[in-house]
Amino acid sequence: MDDITIEELKQRMDAGEKLNLIDVRELYEYEDYNIGAILIPLATLPTKLDELESLKNEEIIIYCRSGARSRNAKMFLLDSGFNNVRNLLGGMLAWREKY
């Protein structure tokens, strides 16, 4: 699945689309700035798969600070049977720089 740009995500958010957003940063990063995703730090993701089971066939957009942790999370979820996982390119660094 292709990754998603900050521009595409912003456009979809502004249109009011229901999105499944997961932030894989740490709590202190999330508290500093977030865009409304659920927080599942990367280290805890393997223990949260049951909670995400209902999203296996839905689009999930994952982000972190720069896109590196979320890229790892995307690969983990794809390997775990999730079908439509997209990484936010540039992460919150790019988002905050533009928006």
Domain ranges (residues) in the chain: 6-98
pTM above 0.85, yes or no: yes
SS3 state of residue 22: strand
Task: Give residue 98's pLDDT.
Answer: 95
Q: Is 64 a catalytic residue?
A: yes
At residue 11, the pLDDT reads 98
Question: Would you state the pLDDT for residue 51?
Answer: 95
pLDDT at residue 1 in the model: 67
Q: Residue 83's pLDDT is what? A: 95
Q: What is the Cα gyration radius of the chain?
A: 12
**Catalytic member of 64, 77, 88, 92:** 64
Q: What's the CA gap between 98 and 94, in Å, rounded? A: 6
The top-level CATH class assigned to 6-98 is: alpha beta
Ranges assigned E (strand) in 1-99: 21-23, 38-39, 59-63, 84-87
Classify residue 13 as exposed, middle or buried by CB count within 10 Å of its CB (0-12, 13-18, 19+).
middle
Token duo for residue 78: 């794809």
pLDDT in the model for residue 40: 98
Give every residue of the chain whose pLDDT is below 70, as ranges.
1
